[in-house]
Amino acid sequence: MSLNPRLTEWPGRVAWVIGASSGIGRALAARLHGLGAQVVVSARNRAALEAFVLEHPGSRALPMDVTDAAQVAAATQALCAGLVPHVVCYCAGHYKAMRADAVDLAEWQRHRSVNLDGAMNVLAAITAPLLARGRGHISLVSSVAGHRGLPNSLAYGPTKAALTHLAEVLYLDLRPRGIGVSVITPGFVATPLTARNDFHMPAMISPEAAAQAIVAGWAQGDFMIDFPRRFTRVLALLRLLPYRLYFALVHRATGL
């Protein structure tokens, strides 16, 4: 049974992809454009957005800094004055490895500002227009790192866990009122963020493969869209383990 209306027909739909200057967001915007959607791309990097528009005729650039609530509100108002988007996907994210013996408070706050507060800024601006129309879909890109505590994830993991929790609450609040909600929990994807890692990343996939998986999840009406399954299924099983076993397995697997 689908938890959301299935998104299968893209011509005539407006898709707003936030965090589309690189990585999963850019690949997803390109995929949706190829399927016939009218794509609106947002990020801080205006040049990257303009390059995307040149490569994808008919798309629209809407630059904004997700951490600036006033900017987000103004951009949303400008967009919705023309046409309320059918799908809003929050792909903006920040990541830097951090452990408890080297806490960087400024970096922690940057994670919170982009990964969580930015999503709330978007939700505060877009929810009312979607509810007024009575249909639409909101999708948040979280991470399997938000399932349970992992080494090197002192700042990233908690903010992604909060994003998954946020999506669950949104679903309970908005689905009865006609708005679909989904949360995307990728494993390792080859992006500028994961390029910073100096450890082995199992089951790495391309941003294009990630975009394909997201679109497939929307088409199935899924709430949680996770990929690649050969990796995320293992993480899902680890969520069920008691702490004694979980901590021992993580230490053994990572050496940390």
Percent of the chain with pLDDT over 90: 78
**Mean pLDDT calculated for residue range 89-107:** 95
Q: How confident is the model at residue 234 (pLDDT cuts 50, 70, 90)?
A: confident
160 part of the active site: yes
- Lowest mean pLDDT segment, chosen from 23-27, 187-191, 198-202: 198-202
Active-site residue identified among 90, 95, 156, 171: 156
243 part of the active site: no
**Mean pLDDT calculated for residue range 112-128:** 98
Mean pLDDT across the chain: 93
Give the pair of three-digit tokens for residue 60: 């629209």
Q: Rounded to two decimals, what is the model's pTM? A: 0.93
6-43 tens-digit pLDDT:
999 999 999 999 999 999 999 999 999 999 999 999 99
Buried-state track 142-157, b at ≥16 Cβ within 10 A, e below 16: bbbbbbbebbbbbbbb
**CATH topology (fold) of 14-254:** Rossmann fold (3.40.50)
Q: Provide the pLDDT for residue 126.
A: 98
The residues, any chain, with a CB within 8 Å of residue 167's CB and separated by 6 or more, are 140, 142, 181, 182, 183, 223
Active-site residue identified among 96, 160, 171, 243: 160
